[in-house]
Amino acid sequence: MHEQSKALAERNIIRLKIKYSRLNVSFLFPNLQSSIFNLLIVFCLCLCLSACCQPKPVNIQPFPVASSPIAANHINTIENFYQPAGIAFDYDGNIYVADSGNSKIQLIDKDYRKIVAIGCFGWKVGEFDHPMDVAFSNLMMYIADSGNNRIQRYGLADRIFGVIAGEKSNKSENSLELYSPQGIATDLRGDVYIVDTWDNRILKTDLLGNILLEIGGLNRFNKPQGVMVDKTGNIYVCDTGNNRVCKLDFSGIQTTCWGSEGDGKGQFQTPTSISQDKNGNLYVVDQGNKRIQAFNPDRAYLGEFGQDELKEPYDIAIDNENHAYVTDMSSSNVEVYKIIPPK
């Protein structure tokens, strides 16, 4: 009996060996076939989606170019500044330069001779710490006293200084806080436009520093440096960190922006200032590309100049005789050009 049981057990073991030797993958993984089918479906869908989502070739439109370009001839160099920044004309056509590294304002006559130095380094009223820009309204000069985080005014007639915005000598006074203001402009009404650079905004104030308009914020500008107001009240901002120029109407509503990072026509690398000639043409200091780009009132590209002389251009001012004065912070000079306008 024992022998029969032993033989039966051996036969059962043999049957099991045969059965398991015939096992296939589907026995071990009964859902494998449907899983493979599902994977194939997903794979096909991915192929279709990747084909559909391939980026279409971008049709990059060239920047509009005016049919009649400008030309500019270099005619002079005014020397012996230290990191000159802003530049502007007074009511009589004299030239004022924010001699930033020397912390003073230099007055230059029409024969390019320095005749007066205004201010010195310090933090008291009438003293400066790296002034970055100047602007005029009648007999009043406004100075972006950047290192002192304030805007000072200076009467050309009475020679009296005052602070209209930012830190004041009397800390108990209520004052408009600024963070490294680097640009300033005025309009025909005498209102003042302040580029509050590190606060990423433009402030419009009256003569006393009362805020009339605030434009910007981090979501709109990125370290703007230059501002200009045309005769009709349009505001132009050099949005330096975003490598573009923005035009806004008198109420601060943005109407257009142009530019992107690059060295092509209508592209910028750290634009720092903008100016306008008597015909309405616009001139942008394209600092990183060491050039001045010119555009007509419709923003069509007119040409460029300055590559042979400029190292680190910062600001530009154009007189009624089409002379362009460009400050160069690296060479510590002011370069003078004669612009030949479009025909």
Q: 131-172: per-residue pLDDT in tens?
A: 999 999 999 999 999 999 999 999 999 999 999 999 764 444
Structure tokens at 73: 């001839």
> What CA–CA distances, in Å, run from 180 to 153, 177, 223?
16, 10, 10
Task: Give Cα 76 to chain centroid, integer Å.
Answer: 29
pLDDT tens string 48-61: 555 444 444 433 45
Q: What single string gives the DSSP state of each residue in 231-259? A: TT--EEEEEGGGTEEEEE-TTS-EEEEE-
CB atoms within 10 A of CB 301: 20
Distance CA 90, CA 111 (A): 15
Tens-of-pLDDT digits for all 343 residues of the chain?
455 555 544 555 445 444 444 444 444 444 545 555 555 565 655 555 554 444 444 334 578 888 889 999 999 999 999 999 999 999 999 999 999 999 999 999 888 888 899 999 999 999 999 999 999 999 999 999 999 999 999 999 999 999 999 976 444 444 689 999 999 999 999 999 999 999 999 999 998 899 999 999 778 999 999 999 999 999 999 999 999 999 999 999 999 999 999 999 999 999 999 999 999 999 999 999 999 999 999 999 999 999 999 999 999 999 999 999 999 999 999 999 999 988 7
pLDDT recorded at residue 59: 39
CA neighbours closer than 13 Å in the CB half-sphere of residue 199: 20
Distance CA 309, CA 333 (A): 10
SS3 call for 61: coil
pLDDT recorded at residue 61: 56
